[in-house]
Amino acid sequence: MGHPWETKRSPGSPTVGTPLWDNNTMQLSTRPFAKSRRVRWASGHWPRSHALGVGRSQGRGGANGGIRGRGGMDPGRIQGRGGLRNPSRRGSLSVVACQAESDGELNRGPGTGGSAAAAAAAAAALAGADVAGAGEGRHSQPPAGQCPWRVRAVATRTPGPPLRPWDQPLVLRGPRGAAAPPAGPHRGPSSGHLQQELLSAQHADNGASVQEVLSELTNQRTVPNIFVNKVHMGGCDRTFQAHQSGLLQKLLQDDPAYDYDLIVIGGGSGGLACAQEAAILGRKVLVLDFVVPSPQGTSWGLGGTCVNVGCIPKKLMHQAALLGQALTDSRKFGWEYSQQVKHNWGTMTEAVQNHIGSLNWGYRLSLREKAVAYINSYGEFVEHHKIKATNGKGQETCYTAAKFVIATGERPRYLGIQGDKEYCITSDDLFSLPYCPGTTLVVGASYVALECAGFLAGLGLDVTVMVRSVLLRGFDQEMAERVGSYMEQHGVRFLRKFVPVEVQQLEKGSPGKLKVMAKSTEGPETIEGVYNTVLLAIGRDSCTKKMGLEKIGVKINEKSGKIPVNDVEQTNVPYVYAVGDVLEGKPELTPIAVQAGKLLARRLFGGRLEKCDYVNVPTVVFTPLEYGCCGYSEERAIEVYQKENLEVYHTLFWPLEWTVACRDNNTCYAKIICNKLDNDRVIGFHVLGPNAGEIIQGFAAAMKCGLTKQLLDDTIGIHPTCAEVFTTLQITKASGLDVTQKGC
């Protein structure tokens, strides 16, 4: 075996033991090539070698992001040429040539020179695009008697003049993973602003420690380990993919003229998740959040709809209603109490608002800890990369950023009739209402409408729901009708096929009295009713129409205000992105917004490629009888797969907890929809019963893993639980058999 080459450093480069990266050095490779499972090294001696990389802005080479290389072998010489499209150079081709020479005799080998050249060319082309890059070429099965070889190209960047073609260092690595210092002078003039470190970890004093820390930091145990502007990219494949997608160029477009790397408009779940993740990745981030008061004057703190006027208060008030039912059931379980049980609206809302306040403060604290700037101002674009922030006092300040994320969410829609904004409330107002709403008319059949109607009725109020057409549009309609039937059995009245046309105030007060006039959607019939409170829950509109998006050319759906984006949440304007409820055609769910926000930040600033998966997202409607689902509704499954290709298994069930109280027998319902053409794969999962959310979560994970009916049958259920019913489903809808349950 030949003596391994010594580790060498270029003048001015950091010494071994310095931080893994700093402001000047962006690439560090520590893993010896010998540990790569893709290359087998044979014994042999390569006494002397050197390598040269040359980058050019035009010439021959590959195109469309692909890597091309060609070349051949002559005795003692490997040469080739390759190229990589460089979008940051106005679509021109960056072409490099590389050459490696050895005193040893190398036989001719078809394609080997091109392989090495293409790899080195790719790396140098990346470096020419102002990025740290790496490429490799290898020949693991040379002609008999010859030594396998690999050529590696690496490049780093430090502050200074723009990179020049001759500033791309290429490193040839020899047998057993040793680093080969370039022999002879560096070809071409040098500006002195490049720093390069060639590290042979097996010979460095602290090489093992460097490897261990780098592996722990990046969870990557292969070479090269590439960082761009302190952002971990990964290895060659991911670096090339990122370059082809344009991500590498974006990572390096650090314009010091901008005030921020990222401005997030909207302080809801998705926006905050994106902002904090970007800050964790070392970016300078600003969050603009301003709540325009509702027509009734309601506003709230940081956190968006979910925290303040959505998921959190809704679930807590749903729980308050369930506790009322539990108190009624408790007598059957032996509990005795003499005092009359009643509910205090003020006590509940105060406790709920106190909890929400703690969450608002927690978000503020989290932003502060991550050095995310937060300004309570309304954001409006005034020109490209520039936004105007207007606070509650009307004071205006302008900020610039390289990138923007729109996460402004939605607000409740109004009817557009006389008296709606003057006298009606929405979910924006309900959860902090300072008085008990009394007799309530809920207008709408959305999940917001039914959830609010459900917990208000559970608290003992007189509730009527006015429905224009169907319940829970977009959900499985069999399940929706079962939800409505259960609510009717528990005191909620439904006015079907009617819409309000006018709201009049009869008496002022807290609450007052309102008269609602409505007309039929199927004829001339009109009706009137008197209520203390009218709650509108007819849908929501995106908050995008007063943001100045037209000034920078961002397209929106003019009717809904929704923003069309591609599969990486990017709008038609390249530096503007969007997440959350403002997206067109995406589920309006908090966990989706959070996931999309985090992954977006990681793609923009962390060198990651993972995209948000909007398929098979579980959700729950927190009506008195909770409805959880994942995947296709039965109607949609029939539309996509055809009825004859589906098998629907279903059953009614009676939760054990309800049997002693002797209530609601055979009202809970379970259903799965299976694709017979795909091994009875479960494509729709539906449950109506207590704790539906807790049930659906685990099965949603199973569906992502390809859950089938056979896998459910093979699963041993936990007894006695509601979820176990899915492990014993045997009756199909097609059979027409009775699904009533006789026992627990």
Q: Would you please indicate which residues are annotated as catalytic (active-site) residues?
A: 719
E strands present in 559-664: 576-578, 619-621, 627-631, 646-653
Distance CA 359, CA 590 (A): 15
Which tokens sit at 308? 């303040």
Distance CA 707, CA 649 (A): 14
Distance CA 243, CA 468 (A): 52
Distance CA 482, CA 489 (A): 11
Distance CA 573, CA 553 (A): 7
Asked whether 27 and 169 are in contact (CB, 8 A), the reply is: no
Distance CA 98, CA 137 (A): 11
E strands present in 513-566: 513-520, 526-531, 533-536, 540-542
The 3-state DSSP class for residue 292 equals coil
Exposure b/e, 532-558, CB count within 10 A at least 16 = b: bbbbbbbebbbbbeebbbeebebebee
DSSP for 303-335 reads: THHHHHHSHHHHHHHHHHHHHHHHHHHHGGGT-
Distance CA 53, CA 51 (A): 7
DSSP for 213-228 reads: HHHHHHS--SS--EEE
Asked whether 24 and 197 are in contact (CB, 8 A), the reply is: no
What lies within 8 Å, CB to CB, of 160 at 6+ separation is 191, 192, 193, 194
Q: 643: which DSSP letter?
A: G
Nearest 5 degrees, angle CA 557-CA 629-CA 466? 65
E strands present in 103-146: 133-139
Residue of 30, 89, 378, 79 lying closest to 210 (CA atoms): 30
Which tokens sit at 319? 């729980």
Residue of 401, 75, 370 lying closest to 264 (CA atoms): 401
Asked whether 367 and 218 are in contact (CB, 8 A), the reply is: no
With tokens 């093979």, the residue in question is 714
Distance CA 599, CA 578 (A): 12
Cα dihedral angle (454, 455, 458, 464), rounded to 10 degrees?
-50
With 0-12 / 13-18 / 19 or more C-beta atoms within 10 angstroms meaning exposed / middle / buried, residue 322 is: middle
For 186, 203, 554, the CA distances from 548, given in Å and listed in that order, are 53, 59, 9
Which tokens sit at 409? 């969410």
The 3-state DSSP class for residue 27 equals strand
